[in-house]
Amino acid sequence: MRSPPPLRAGKQLGALGNASPPDIIEFQGTTKRFPGVLALDRVDLAIRRGEVHVLVGQNGAGKSTLVKLLCGLFAPDQGRILLEGEPYAPRSTLAAIRAGIRVVFQEFNLLPYLTVAENIFFQRLPRRAGLVDFGRLFRDAEAMLDQVGLEISPRARVETLGVAQMQLLEIAKALSTQSKVLILDEPTATLTPPEIHRLFEIIARLKARGVTIVYISHRLQEVFDVGDRITVLRNGRRVETLSAGDASIPRIVKLMVGKEMGEEYPFQPGIQVGAEILRVEDLRPRGRQHAVSFALHRGELLGVAGLVGSGRTEAMRALFGADARESGRIYRNGQEVPIRRPRDAVQRGICLLTEDRKAQGLILAMPCYANVTITNLGRVSRAGLLDGGAERTATQELVDELHIQTPSVEQLVGNLSGGNQQKTVIAKWLFRRSEVLIFDEPTRGIDVGARFEIYQLLWRLAAAGKGILIVSSDLPELMGICHRILVFSNGRITGDLPRDQFSQERILACAYHEYVQGRPRAGSSGAPAPG
């Protein structure tokens, strides 16, 4: 790790500035180089006190590097950063937090076996006579949870929470220190619309308190809902900073990719939906009250909508055999098939592309080819002996077909960008020649360009006669690419909408259907209460 630039200029500047400058953070010609890659290239960027500043850009554009400079994980190679007019060179994340800069990362940094309250106040637990004052701890935590509108017990263990709750908990944790600058990295990736709405209210409240917010998101619509100013980054350079009033989605996209994007969702009505390829009857995942039934056809893109916690993912996992189920029959091409384990499903041509690519989809420390061939090692081996040449050739074909950007098939998958990792997951199931593909949040955390490619890929797969299920929290995405959408609500399917009946209002009405009658039952945590 390089040492941060010296603090020489600090005192002089500090003596000058009694009146606080309008810019709370200023990057001056900041450059950060990694071996072989210029991650940030002479970036000048000013963030004003009390504004919500949105950073957008494709993966690898330099957003994360900027954030990591701010929170003390890296030091710039050239240029410098000013915090309230004074040179700012944190040596650790703790130093950054002390300086009042706090980041909520996309990946959670929670301690799963400790309570919610302990997680919030982990760095400074209230003490009495050297022991933790649990009474005060839980009271304080309760107040923090109220602030983010999270209705969970501060005594709950974090491992029992849903993803959306963890996200809000991370924010609560960040709010617990008096932060001047709060950096939110993709905070809405796992949230449902009402939760996002609540988050935006929280942001507005923080802003009113004078907290500066740096907001990073791939969902461009949010940029206008929440942002004051927008900075577009591309290939490590700042392309432009605009005020939200001057920006539009096409304009931002154009700045991000450096060219016109064309239509965002490539729906191709020409593709014919064929015979039934998969039918699910009376499928009840373990721990769920209700069962679901539905059918999927060849060439069909079937969307699965619903709030987080509505049982979408659970149903898909139970169907694939990843988790146990209470009941349910599964038919492939009209024939009932016994599926108890993922192996059974894979052998019947069904595959699941999980929400969490890094933890469940890929082996990050292994090369690209090993990740692809693992679904069908029999294809590249004889009598248990691997044929390394065949593995690499087969993988190279898929890499070319899917336009996976990697220097070679030997590259460790962990070194690929998010979009290319997702394509690698798709490649591994194409290698298996799977017929039914279940995608859980296929474009989560993926930049616009790669997203577009994945949509086109889905269409190519459908045109080739495969059946595709897509679970997504992004309604415009589902409406853009699917033939039909199933809407889950509190464990039931409350809507089965053909394309001509698609509308956000309709889908949301179905999604909330089961929550309107009364509060959701236990086990469906994460779903919002009515009203």
Partner 1 sequence: MRAKRILYLLLREAGIGLALVLLALVFAAAAPRFASVANVTNILTQISINTVIAVGMTFVILLGGIDLSVGSVLALATIVGGLIITSETLSPGVAILLSVAGSTLVGSLCGLFNGVVCERWKIHSFIVTLGMLNIARGAALQISNSRTIFSFPDSFNEVGAATIFGVPIIFLMALGIVLAGRFILNRTVFGRLIYAIGNNEEAVRLSGHAPSLYKVAAFTLCGGMVGLAAIMYMMRLNIASPILGVGFELNAIAAVVIGGTSMSGGKGSMMGTLLGASIMGVLSNGLLLLGMGDFARQMVTGLIIVVAVIIDKYRAQALMRSSFQLEPVRPGEGKGDRGSP
Residue with Cβ nearer partner 1 (212 or 373): 373
Cβ within 8 Å of residue 498, ≥6 positions away: 483, 484
249 exposure class (CB count in 10 Å sphere: 0-12, 13-18, 19+): middle
What is the contact mask toward partner 1 in residues 198 to 227, using x (rule: CB under 8 A)?
------------------------------
Q: In a 3-state reduction of DSSP, which class is residue 232? A: strand
What is the contact mask toward partner 1 in residues 325 to 344, using x (rule: CB under 8 A)?
----------------xxx-
C-beta of residue 101 within 8 angstroms of C-beta of residue 183: yes
Q: What's the rounded Cα separation, in Å, for the pair 452 and 443?
A: 9
Contacting partner 1 within 444-463 (CB under 8 A)? 449
Q: Is 377 in the site for partner 1 (CB under 8 A)?
A: yes
Closest CA to 76 of 145, 13, 26, 123: 26
Residue with Cβ nearer partner 1 (61 or 103): 61
Residue with Cβ nearer partner 1 (8 or 259): 259
C-beta of residue 468 within 8 angstroms of C-beta of residue 300: yes
Applying CB under 8 A, which part among 84-92, 368-376, 467-475, 512-520 lies near partner 1?
368-376
Among 385, 500, 505, 531, binds partner 1 (CB under 8 A): 385
Residue with Cβ nearer partner 1 (420 or 443): 420
Type of residue at 98: R
Among 59, 115, 190, 395, binds partner 1 (CB under 8 A): 59
Q: Is 519 in the site for partner 1 (CB under 8 A)?
A: no
Q: Specify the DSSP element, H or E, that contains 445.
A: none
Q: Is 426 in the site for partner 1 (CB under 8 A)?
A: no
Residue with Cβ nearer partner 1 (51 or 435): 435
Cβ within 8 Å of residue 15, ≥6 positions away: none
Q: Is 37 in the site for partner 1 (CB under 8 A)?
A: yes
Q: Is 260 in the site for partner 1 (CB under 8 A)?
A: no
Q: Is 324 in the site for partner 1 (CB under 8 A)?
A: no
How many C-beta neighbours within 10 Å does residue 73 have? 16
Q: What are phi and psi of 229, to 5 degrees?
A: -135, 155
Cα dihedral 75, 81, 85, 87 sign:
positive
Q: Is 393 in the site for partner 1 (CB under 8 A)?
A: no
What is the contact mask toward partner 1 in residues 72 to 111, using x (rule: CB under 8 A)?
----------------------------------------
Q: Is 163 in the site for partner 1 (CB under 8 A)?
A: no
Q: How many residues bind partner 1 (CB under 8 A)?
A: 59
Applying CB under 8 A, which part among 109-117, 133-141, 245-253, 408-416 lies near partner 1?
408-416
On the CB side of 501, how many CA atoms lie within 13 Å of its CA?
13
485 exposure class (CB count in 10 Å sphere: 0-12, 13-18, 19+): buried
CB of 474 to partner 1, least distance (A): 23
Residue with Cβ nearer partner 1 (352 or 510): 352
Among 309, 361, 495, 528, binds partner 1 (CB under 8 A): 361
Applying CB under 8 A, which part among 24-32, 77-85, 150-158, 397-405 lies near partner 1?
397-405
Q: Is 370 in the site for partner 1 (CB under 8 A)?
A: yes
What residues does 216 pair with on adjacent strands?
Answer: 55, 185
Among 202, 352, 394, 510, binds partner 1 (CB under 8 A): 352
Q: What are phi and psi of 372, to 5 degrees?
A: -75, -45
Q: Is 285 in the site for partner 1 (CB under 8 A)?
A: no
Q: Using alpha carbons only, how large is the chain's radius of gyration in Å?
A: 24
| Measured CA distances, 375 to 112, 350, 361, 521 (Å) | 31, 11, 11, 38
C-beta of residue 115 within 8 angstroms of C-beta of residue 160: no
CB of 498 to partner 1, least distance (A): 31
Q: What are phi and psi of 133, to 5 degrees?
A: -90, 90
Type of residue at 148: V
CB of 311 to partner 1, least distance (A): 19
Contacting partner 1 within 238-257 (CB under 8 A)? 257
| Tokens 């009364």 belong to residue | 518
Among 346, 448, 486, 493, binds partner 1 (CB under 8 A): 346
Among 6, 8, 260, 400, binds partner 1 (CB under 8 A): 400
Buried b (16+ CB within 10 A) or exposed e, 146-183: ebbbbebebeeebeebbbbbbbbbbbbbbbbeebbbbb
Q: In a 3-state reduction of DSSP, which class is residue 330? A: strand
The contact set with partner 1 (CB under 8 A) reads 34-37, 39, 58-60, 234-235, 257-259, 320, 322, 341-343, 345-347, 352, 354, 359-366, 370, 374-375, 377-378, 381, 384-386, 388, 399-400, 403-408, 410-412, 415-417, 420, 428, 432, 449
